[in-house]
Amino acid sequence: MLDPRDEVFSIRDILDSQLLTSDGRRIGRVADIEAEVRADDSLVLLYLVAGPQALAGRVNTRLRDLFRFFLRDRFDHRIPLSEVTKFGPTLHLRGNAKDYAVGQSDRWIAEHILRWIPGGR
């Protein structure tokens, strides 16, 4: 069944792992995953999810609904699994930090809040 060259990972290896971009920036952690059942009954992992709603869901599903009501999916983002080049406690991503919606709040805060504070840049 399994090709011996394949590495086997459990969900635990992926959930809560650090997302690290190829330009060496830490953009966030995996809060949730999205998978799909294919016609041949295989379960395929498609996306890594990061954001407040997904995190709230980790605590309680009702809490996730509450967060969704207020945030309306605005801050949750998905990264296709194919973007991951190396697995482990740290997931290495193919692109640079600016290529991903995850972690854009870092840039937003720098551009809109910290620029008004002396010595911020």
Partner 1 sequence: MKKQWTSIALGVVTAIGGFLDAGTIATSGEAGAKFGLGLVWIVLVATVAIILLVEMVGRFTAVSKKTYAEAIREDFGFRFYLLPLASEVIAESILLAAELGGISIALSLFTGISWHILFPFVALFIWIIVWRASFNVIENGPALLGLVTLSFLAAIVALGGIPAHLLPTLWHPSFQHGTVADYLYLVAATLGATISPYMLYFYSSGAREEHWTGASLLLNRVTAIVGMSFGSMGSLALLVLAAIVLQPLNISASTLGELGIAMAKPFGIVGSLLFATVLFATCLGAALEVVLAVSYNIAQGFGWEWGENKKPAEAARFNLVMTIFLLIAVAIGLTGIDPLQLALLASTIISLFLPISLSPFLILMNDPQYLGKKTNRRFTNIAMVCILVLAFLVALVSLPLEIITGGG
Residues of this chain that interact with partner 1 (CB under 8 A) are: 15-19, 25-29, 31, 55, 58-59, 89, 103, 105-107, 109-110, 113-115, 117, 119-121
- CA-to-CA distance for 59 and 54, rounded, in angstroms? 9
* 4 versus 24: smaller Cβ distance to partner 1: 24
* 44 versus 86: smaller Cβ distance to partner 1: 86
Q: Closest distance between partner 1 and the C-beta of residue 55, in Å?
A: 6
DSSP β-ladder status, 90-93 and 18-20:
parallel
* 46 versus 59: smaller Cβ distance to partner 1: 59
Closest by Cα among 93, 88, 121, 114 to 28: 93
Q: Which two tokens stand for residue 61?
A: 């599903």
